[in-house]
Structure formats: structure tokens, C-alpha cells
Amino acid sequence: MSREKFQTLSEPMYYILLALLQEQCGVDIMARVQDISNGRVQVGPGTLYALIGKFLENHLIRETKVEGRKRSYIITEDGKDLLRKEYQRLRLMVREGDSLLGGDPV
């Protein structure tokens, strides 16, 4: 998957990268995503490991350790850069929405 595919992130992608600001294993990533999103976003193992593979392939995260079948990961500088760009894109969307909706909560 080329880097261009990551111009916008899905919610699971965004939250997984947020979770990986700290070193985590797969089970911990799933729990952290649920925690960060207040239970709104849940990532199952299939989605998680498919995205981990894509993130590794594109050097957005790196593997930090392997203990038996347990693997841990952390975000790279390229991953942080992508996450910051997505955060800024989302903030812009909210500002534009506020200007048209008058800042009223939806």
C-alpha cells in the first residue's frame, strides 16, 4: 500500500496510531482504542492485524519486541507526522462545520 493511501485515515487507523504513541501489544491496542474513544470505536483482531501489517509495511509503526507470540509495536516519526496531519485535517473540518452550523452541538 503506497503512502498516498494514507491521505485520510479511517477511525480505526486513527485510533490505532493514537494508541501506539505508547508501546503496546495487540490486545492492549484494542483495549486502548476502546478507552480513548470512550467505547465508541472497537477494533477486532482481524482489522487490527491487517492494519498493523500495512502500517509496518509503510514504516508508520515498528515492532519493538517479541515474547513468544506476543508482539509489541510503537509509532515511528513518519507515523507521528501522518497522525498530526490527520489531526489538523479533522480540526479544519470541525472549524468549517462550526462556521456553517453556528457551533451548535449536533
Domain boundaries, the chain: 9-97
Handedness of CA 1, 17, 41, 93 (dihedral sign): negative
Q: How far apart are the first and last CA of the chain?
A: 35
pLDDT in tens, 83-106: 999 999 999 999 999 999 986 655
pLDDT in tens, 31-75: 999 999 999 999 999 999 999 999 999 999 999 999 999 999 999
Residue 70's DSSP bridge partners are 67
Under CATH, which architecture does the 9-97 domain have?
A: Orthogonal Bundle (1.10)
What pTM value is reported for the model? 0.88
Residue 2 has pLDDT above 50, yes or no: no
